A and B are shown apart, each in its own frame.
Chain A
Amino acid sequence: MKPARKLVLAFAIGGALALLPGFLSLAPNRLATGAGVTIFACAPIGAVAIGVALAMLAFSAVRSRSWLTLTAGVALLVALPLAAGAGAATLLHHAPPAARAELGAGFWLLSCIAILACLDASAALALNALASLAVAATLAAIIALIAWTGRLDALSLAHEFATHRAAFWAAFARHVLLVVLTLAGACAAGIPLGILAWRRPGWRPKVFGVLNVVQTLPSIALFGLLMTPLAKLGLSGIGLVPAVVALVLYALMPTVRAIVTGLDNVPAAPLDAAAGLGFSPLQSFVRTRLPLAAPALLAGLRVVVVQAVGLAVVAALIGAGGFGDFVFQGLGQYALDLVLLGALPATALALLADALLTLAAATARRATG
């Protein structure tokens, strides 16, 4: 048995145990701490479904049936929210109106197991980026459909979504805007800087030295540090502008590094051939070096985007909006489901950007042989 499969098995057993303490937790209101409820007490049918999926997972892990592992993992990821939704509805049926049914440790542990199993299986099956993305998209669509039909409405998280519906979509739009502006700024400043550093190796220590210092600054400190100079320039120290400036500063390091290493690591033979056949330096750059560096450049872009999605959460601290608003509001009120309302979609956004850019890099790698 391979180590990864042992891991899956260990988690399957651990997850079965995790069914016992708290699959959901029932709290008297959204701010109070809840008490754990077993899945058997609130969703017996769900418990059976999850039990079957876990048994399938354990069996397939022992027998090294990767397709079965993937199927069981996906089934578990569908069964878990269904069971949680049904369990929450049962719990609230007998509870006072202010009561909240929250997702408990058991739910999260089982979700982790299911995701690990899916990742392990897709690695064992050597699924390519497109196939992995297709599996993830199908799963996301199923869960979205379940949510759409109202089966998750009893969960506290759904309550938070319902009360913040308008703000949620505004935060989503703002978060995407922050990332897009960061990306645009990182390209506008990073591409010329990257090409300069690539063409003048003597400048690299200086360029990377400065960018390294920026990268080392804690994000909150950088947001704070920017307030004064921006105020001197007549710009507000809070809001969208300083947030984008800070995010761009953070994005410069991975952007410039990706450009320099990407352009440097192009194989020498095609470049020699291009020069010898009479490509001008610009033609050689545009037709040979740039396309051959594309996979590395896209891999660098992936780092930039994923980092920007994560850091944009912190940007809410200086009033830039985005999903960070929910996170910090939730932390302030100790309403953990509100934190999740910001954290979960931000995570999903990062994963989506990661998957799409991995796919793009894989396509580019195929295109460059």
Chain B
Amino acid sequence: MIELDAVSKRHGAALAVDALSLTVPAGAITVLLGPSGCGKSTTLRMINRLIAPSSGTIRLEGRDTAQIDPIALRRSIGYVIQDAGLFPHWSVAKNIAAVPTLLGWDKTRIDSRVAELLRLVDLDADQFAGKRPNLLSGGQAQRVGVARALAADPKLLLMDEPFGALDPITRRDLQAALRRIQRETGKTIVLVTHDIEEAVLLGNHIAVLRAGRLVQHGTPLELLEHPADAFVRDFFGGAALGLRRLSLLPAAARARPGEAPGEPLRPDASLRDALEAMLARGCDRVAIGGAGVVAISDLLS
């Protein structure tokens, strides 16, 4: 658990972050969301003390981070940046081994950890371990970036616009991979993005920032259903807000017994998936695998 208590960062006269208080729960993905310049990256970088707060305290599992040696603190926290920032003069395996090497792990332990991590991020060890970063695609490079950040098994992972530089298809793959990795490892993840789709897709919690201040903090559904103000409503897409909300609601929960034409949808389909299927098939109801049928009127309740 991370607690930010009235944290501010001052650049000369300007306040990049203004008395921000926020609690990040353990074992979940918290997204810091906002337009560029809202202070979300600064906030992230204050957590691992790459930037020193001007005032306020940040506590990590109850300990004030100002009291922890910054180098040791950073080694205990994973860090992923936009362009992966792999060390171009090192192989993939050596990149992943960076922090374990700093921590003085022995070679066999490092080797087995590297193999384990390559499996976790879905890269074939034989093919990729010896490769140089310049031979990797953007998506592969960022998978290595995630593996490197997880190498010393930190409880917390900080990600600064990790998928911002990737094409849409690769981005979707990596977002799915991140969700799976988070489920499998139970890491606490703080992810910075300005991409609302990404925030809704990945975040268990979303903190919306504007001009260095926290505007609203809650689950994606809470934010979509009860936006705190016009800024949040506009940021979440105004008219498209209803559709986004549907994408967060599982269709199976509204299903009733019955029959519908066509192939049933997967059991974990959202109401938005159901609506899209109805529009595509030109009918007013659709079957959800193992749960029954959802009709168009069920979307409105």
A interface vs B, CB < 8 Å? 267, 269-280, 283, 287-288, 291-292, 367-369
- The 0/1 profile, CB within 8 Å of A marked 1, for residues 43-67 of chain B is 0010010100000000000000000
Contact B81 A272 (CB under 8 A): yes
Taken together as a complex, chains A and B put the C-alpha atoms of A272 and B51 apart, in Å, by 12
The winner among A275, A276, A288 for most chain B CB atoms within 10 A is A276
B interface vs A, CB < 8 Å? 45, 48, 50, 71-76, 79, 81-89, 98-99, 102, 132-134, 145, 148-149, 158
Partner of B72, one of A267, A278, A292, A369: A278
Smallest CB gap from A279: residue in B: B102
The winner among B73, B82, B87 for most chain A CB atoms within 10 A is B87
Contact A269 B102 (CB under 8 A): no
Taken together as a complex, chains A and B put the C-alpha atoms of A368 and B134 apart, in Å, by 9
A-B contact pairs, 5 of them (CB 8 A): A272-B81, A276-B48, A277-B75, A278-B102, A369-B134
Residues of B within 8 A of A291 (CB): 89
Contact A273 B71 (CB under 8 A): no
* Given known contacts A275-B74, A276-B50, A277-B79, A270 and B86 CB-to-CB distance under 8 angstroms: yes
Residues of B within 8 A of A269 (CB): 81-85
Taken together as a complex, chains A and B put the C-alpha atoms of A278 and B69 apart, in Å, by 10
Taken together as a complex, chains A and B put the C-alpha atoms of A276 and B159 apart, in Å, by 11
Closest Cβ–Cβ distance, residue A296 to chain B (whole Å): 14
What 10 additional pairs, Cβ within 8 angstroms, besides A269-B82, A278-B72, A279-B71? A269-B81, A270-B86, A270-B87, A272-B81, A273-B85, A273-B86, A277-B74, A278-B75, A278-B99, A283-B102
Partner of A277, one of B45, B89, B134, B149: B149
* Given known contacts A276-B81, A279-B102, A369 and B89 CB-to-CB distance under 8 angstroms: yes
Contact B85 A278 (CB under 8 A): no
Contact A276 B74 (CB under 8 A): yes
Taken together as a complex, chains A and B put the C-alpha atoms of A369 and B133 apart, in Å, by 7
Taken together as a complex, chains A and B put the C-alpha atoms of A291 and B87 apart, in Å, by 10
Residues of A within 8 A of B71 (CB): 278-280
Residues of A within 8 A of B133 (CB): 369
Taken together as a complex, chains A and B put the C-alpha atoms of A269 and B158 apart, in Å, by 15
Taken together as a complex, chains A and B put the C-alpha atoms of A13 and B192 apart, in Å, by 67
Residues of B within 8 A of A273 (CB): 79, 81, 84-87, 145, 148
Smallest CB gap from B44: residue in A: A276
Smallest CB gap from B70: residue in A: A278
Taken together as a complex, chains A and B put the C-alpha atoms of A273 and B78 apart, in Å, by 10
Partner of B88, one of A270, A279, A283: A270
Taken together as a complex, chains A and B put the C-alpha atoms of A292 and B86 apart, in Å, by 12
Contact B99 A277 (CB under 8 A): yes
* Given known contacts A269-B81, A269-B83, A278 and B74 CB-to-CB distance under 8 angstroms: yes
Taken together as a complex, chains A and B put the C-alpha atoms of A270 and B86 apart, in Å, by 6
Contact A369 B132 (CB under 8 A): yes
Residues of A within 8 A of B85 (CB): 269-273
Contact A277 B98 (CB under 8 A): yes
Residues of B within 8 A of A275 (CB): 50, 74
Residues of B within 8 A of A368 (CB): 88-89
Taken together as a complex, chains A and B put the C-alpha atoms of A278 and B99 apart, in Å, by 7
Taken together as a complex, chains A and B put the C-alpha atoms of A180 and B115 apart, in Å, by 47
Residues of A within 8 A of B89 (CB): 291-292, 367-369
| 7 closest residue pairs by CB, A with B | A369-B88, A278-B75, A276-B79, A273-B85, A269-B85, A278-B74, A369-B134
Residues of A within 8 A of B86 (CB): 270, 273
Smallest CB gap from B73: residue in A: A278
Partner of B148, one of A272, A277, A283: A277
Closest Cβ–Cβ distance, residue B166 to chain A (whole Å): 15
Residues of B within 8 A of A267 (CB): 88
Closest Cβ–Cβ distance, residue A337 to chain B (whole Å): 49
Taken together as a complex, chains A and B put the C-alpha atoms of A275 and B99 apart, in Å, by 11
Smallest CB gap from A267: residue in B: B88
Residues of A within 8 A of B132 (CB): 369
Taken together as a complex, chains A and B put the C-alpha atoms of A276 and B145 apart, in Å, by 12
Taken together as a complex, chains A and B put the C-alpha atoms of A279 and B71 apart, in Å, by 7
Closest Cβ–Cβ distance, residue B292 to chain A (whole Å): 49
Residues of B within 8 A of A288 (CB): 87
Smallest CB gap from B103: residue in A: A278
Taken together as a complex, chains A and B put the C-alpha atoms of A267 and B148 apart, in Å, by 19
Taken together as a complex, chains A and B put the C-alpha atoms of A271 and B85 apart, in Å, by 8
Taken together as a complex, chains A and B put the C-alpha atoms of A10 and B47 apart, in Å, by 68
Residues of B within 8 A of A271 (CB): 85
Residues of B within 8 A of A270 (CB): 85-88
Closest Cβ–Cβ distance, residue B190 to chain A (whole Å): 13
